[in-house]
Structure 1
Amino acid sequence: MSTLMKTFTTCDVRLFLWIVQRPRARRIAGVFRWISRLGDGYLYLAAGLGLALFEPVRGPYFLAAGLLAFALELPLYLLLKHTIRRPRPNHALGQVSAFITPSDTFSFPSGHSAAAFVTATLVGHVYPAFLLPALGLAFLISLSRVILRVHYPTDILAGTTLGISCTVSALLLIPGGAP
Structure 2
Amino acid sequence: MRSIEPIAKLDLAFSLFCLQHKFQYPISRISRAMSHTGDGHLYAVFGLLAFMFGEEHGELFLIAGLVAFAFELPIYWVIKNTFKRRRPHDCSELVTSFITPSDRYSLPSGHTAAAFLMATLVNTWYMEVGEFAYVWAILIASSRIFLGVHFLTDVILGALLGFGCANLAISLLGG
What band does the TM-score fall into relative to the shorter chain?
over 0.9
Aligned equivalent of 2:10: 11
Shift of 1:94: 1.5
Match of 2:94, SS state, is coil
Aligned equivalent of 1:149: 148
TM-score, structure 1 length as denominator? Answer: 0.94
Backbone CA RMSD of aligned residues:
1.0
Shift of 1:9: 1.1
Matched length: 175
Aligned equivalent of 1:122: 121
Q: Tell me the percent identity.
A: 41
Residue-by-residue CA offset, 1:35-67 (whole Å, 9 max, x unaligned): 100000000111101110122211111000111
Shift of 1:105: 1.0
Aligned equivalent of 1:83: 82
Asked if the contact 2:15–2:95 (Cα under 8 Å) also holds between the matched residues in 1, the reply is: no
Alpha-carbon distance between aligned partners in 1 of 2:153 and 2:70, rounded to the nearest angstrom: 23
Match of 1:97, SS state, is coil
Alpha-carbon distance between aligned partners in 1 of 2:32 and 2:107, rounded to the nearest angstrom: 20
Aligned equivalent of 1:61: 60
Equivalences for residues 102-121 of structure 1 within 5 A: 102-121=101-120
Match of 1:40, SS state, is coil
Match of 1:94, SS state, is coil
Residue-by-residue CA offset, 1:3-35 (whole Å, 9 max, x unaligned): x31111111111111111132232211111111
Aligned equivalent of 1:92: 91
Matched, 1:42 2:64: no
TM-score, structure 2 length as denominator? Answer: 0.97
Extract unaligned runs of 5+ from structure 1. none
